[in-house]
Amino acid sequence: MRIGYSFWGFLGNGVTDTPDGGRSHRRVLVDGLNDRGHHIVFLQPNRDLVEAGEDFTGLYTWDERLPTIDALLLEWRWPIAGRNVTSCASPGHTCDLHRQEDLIRAYVRGLGLPTLLWDKDLRLAKDDPIRSLPNITVCEAALFPNDGARSLLFPVRDAHMDAADPELLAKAHRDLPLVYAGNQYDRDDAFDRFFAPAAKRHRHVVVGKWPRTDSWPHVTFLGRRPFSEIEPLHRRALTTMLLAPERYAEHGQFTQRLFEAVLVGCLPIGASNMRGVDQVLPEELVVSDGVEAARLIEHLERIAGTARHARLIADCLDRLEPFRLSRQVPVIESVFDSVDTDSEGAR
């Protein structure tokens, strides 16, 4: 099947000053689809080449026209003031939303192609008319998606899960008790309740875009760091925290930070108010506030390197099973299974 894929981000490391969590799993998903015999055509600009200077054109196909495809996969874009809602010639303009509108006009409304709309940030309004189109299937990266939507989780490469050794990961030297890698977006309440109190008692760092930090003068914010530094940071850390905006917590959406940490042995601490947290973390790693989090970190420091530590890592790895690539690719195929791959598609 020839699948047109629209995303605004990167396949490789990208550039430092950009919010794109998809770098951890987008290429994993694309490679998984390619391995199943599908051909993927990227429909947004090649930002890897233009902005980051990484050339993947020998491995993947980009086409900014309206190429022939059998189905469409959209990583949903939404209006952002001062960026993609301005005129194309305006300073700072990004054309992701305009391009998405063109793709919807041509492929979804014009040709009626089967379309998977992946609302990865839960930004699609519940009353958006696009939900009612017969050729649209909305998917969300959540354990408990909105009514009418399906679950399509951020995928983890099977080989990476199979290669993770809990005993070796537990024995690794970890000089940071606590880290957080991620941006501030809508996380102030969770940060204030869980991370900030624990940060008063444990050495820590926070990396990411946090423009408003006056409320937490005791927290060490390092600003944005290259994507290539995130894995080494988690390898240094004993724990991280799963900090979720309210809409994520309500629907059990766990970002790529979960498996980025677990795969290298950094134990995630989850908030008890996150729906489904008991499915992705053992009970021992779930807390109700920052005081509990601080005590938990002290406990984990005492057992670091022991068999109990290794068992916790193993438990976290086992709970990543639903995120396996081999379980996510069939979700996409099931959305498109009615496509006649012998048809001409769109031109």
pLDDT, the chain, mean = 94
Domains of the chain (ranges plus CATH)?
Answer: 2-155+325-335 (no CATH), 158-323 (3.40.50.2000)
Going by C-alpha positions, the residue among 162, 161, 164, 168 that lies closest to residue 305 is 168
Task: Let me know: does 268 contact 257? Beta carbons within 8 Å.
Answer: yes
Tens digits of residue pLDDT in 28-66: 999 999 999 999 999 999 999 999 999 999 999 999 999
Model confidence band, residue 89 (pLDDT cutoffs 50, 70, 90) = confident
Tens digits of residue pLDDT in 113-126: 999 999 999 999 99
Question: In this model, does residue 346 exceed pLDDT 50?
Answer: no
* pLDDT for the residue 83: 82
Model confidence band, residue 237 (pLDDT cutoffs 50, 70, 90) = very high
Tens digits of residue pLDDT in 287-324: 999 999 999 999 999 999 999 999 999 999 999 999 99
3-class DSSP string for the chain? CEEEEECCCCCCCCCCCCCCHHHHCHHHHHHHHHHCCCEEEECCCCHHHHCCCCCCCCCCEECCCCCCCCEEEEECCCCCCCCCCCCCCCCCCCCHHHHHHHHHHHHHHHCCCCEEEEECCCCCCCCCHHHHCCCEEEEECCCCCCCCCEECCCCECHHHHHHCCHHHHHHCCCCEEEEEECCCCCCHHHHHHHHHHHHCCCCEEEECCCCCCCCCCCCCECCCCCHHHHHHHHHHEEEEECCCCHHHHHHCCCCCHHHHHHCCCCEEEEECCCCCHHHHCCHHHEECCHHHHHHHHHHHHHHCCCHHHHHHHHHHHHCCHHHEHHHHHHHHHHHCCCCCCCCCCCC
